[in-house]
Amino acid sequence: MKIIPLKKWFENFERPLIIAGPCSAESRNQVFKTAEEISKLEKVSVFRAGIWKPRTRPNSFEGVGEIGLKWLKEVKEKTNLLISTEVATPKHIEICLKNPRIIDIFWIGARTTSSPFSVQELANSLRGVDIPVMVKNPINPDLDLWIGALERFKYANN
């Protein structure tokens, strides 16, 4: 499998990719204060905040959802950081793609990576879309499962 080096993902990208931000975007204030401090760190290239968060228990906080895209757009405009968020369903991807030029990198979380059917649905929904996808290692360490997830995106021409 051919993997594109990080330095070729974005124009003028030469430094190591350092990603920082809250696991979960819980409020506009939290997102902005965090982004403001992170933007002061010259080594950080990407701001990440999960606006959808799969949780083990029902009725747990599962993210702010689509409203978080507005916050991420403002962060991008004010900090010039690249933006990443976790997507766990094709609907999440659809919402992000309807709001172009906000999300620079899709993040597939460890829980989602553990489900080949879910990964395939995400890969299919990104077929032909030219946005980098980062696939987090699965919850239970399994190299074949992780490679399989990467291959699913590759075969979907992403």
Q: What is the pLDDT of residues 79-124, one digit of tens each?
A: 999 999 999 999 999 999 999 899 999 999 999 999 999 999 999 9
**Domain membership flag for residue 2:** no
For 132-154, write each residue's pLDDT tens digit. Answer: 999 999 888 899 999 999 999 99
**Domain membership flag for residue 8:** no
Q: Identify residue 78 by its one-letter amino acid code.
A: K
For 29-51, write each residue's pLDDT tens digit. Answer: 999 999 999 999 988 999 999 99
**Domain membership flag for residue 7:** no
Whole-Å CA distances, 151 to 56, 131, 142: 27, 16, 14
Whole-Å CA distances, 103 to 4, 84, 89, 97, 106: 19, 6, 15, 8, 7
Look at the chain and report how many structural domains it folds into. 1
- 110: domain CATH number is 3.20.20.70
Question: How is residue 145 written in tokens?
Answer: 């499962």
Asked whether the predicted pLDDT for residue 61 surpasses 80, the reply is yes
pTM of the model: 0.90
> What is the C-alpha to C-alpha distance for residues 49 and 71, in angstroms, rounded to an integer?
10
For 63-77, write each residue's pLDDT tens digit. Answer: 999 999 999 999 999
In this predicted structure, what is the pLDDT of residue 115?
Answer: 94
**Domain membership flag for residue 3:** no
Q: Calculate the average pLDDT of the chain.
A: 91
Four-residue CA torsion sign, 148, 101, 30, 26:
negative
In this predicted structure, what is the pLDDT of residue 37?
Answer: 97
Q: Are 75 and 81 in contact (CB under 8 A)?
A: yes
Its domain, for residue 136, covers 18-155
In this predicted structure, what is the pLDDT of residue 2?
Answer: 67
**Domain membership flag for residue 4:** no
